[in-house]
Amino acid sequence: MKTIIADNRKYEVAEADYPEKLTWREANKIDINGWTLPHFSLLQNMFINGEDLNGFDYSETYLSSTQFWDIVNEHNVEDGSVYVLNFKTGEELLKHEDNYAGKIRLIREIK
């Protein structure tokens, strides 16, 4: 089991990506024994520690659970935007939750 610690919490990271790309809305319907999308800062942590976590596709972008309105709105961005992380460059991007399908690596909190 691969784990990371963030915000004083311990998370188990799935051994592999979800088998298909999904939109944010589709990904949030996944209900597999507590597995969920990581919030954006946790996804960044996964990017930094990726070589220890196995199998990230560094040519892809990964979805986070963080919606744009969860962060201070300082830009003129369309409602329904979500944060994704480009694993090739480490760049954070905003994509529309219904129109963009990305890679997914699920996590679950270890209690």
Q: What is the per-residue pLDDT for 26?
A: 92
Q: Which residue would you say has higher pLDDT here, 104 or 80?
A: 104
**What structural domains does the chain harbor?**
2-110 (3.10.100.10)
- Kindly state the helix (H) or strand (E) to which residue 78 belongs, with its residue range: none
Residue whose pair of structure tokens reads 């830009």 in the numeric block: 75
pLDDT tens, 41-99?
999 988 988 767 778 888 999 999 988 764 445 555 556 788 999 999 999 998 888 88
Nearest to 60 by CA among 50, 52, 70: 50
Q: What is the per-residue pLDDT for 69?
A: 63
First to last CA, the chain: 14
Q: What is the per-residue pLDDT for 70?
A: 47
Q: What is the per-residue pLDDT for 77?
A: 52
Give residue 47's region: left, alpha or beta (phi > 0; psi -120 to 50).
alpha
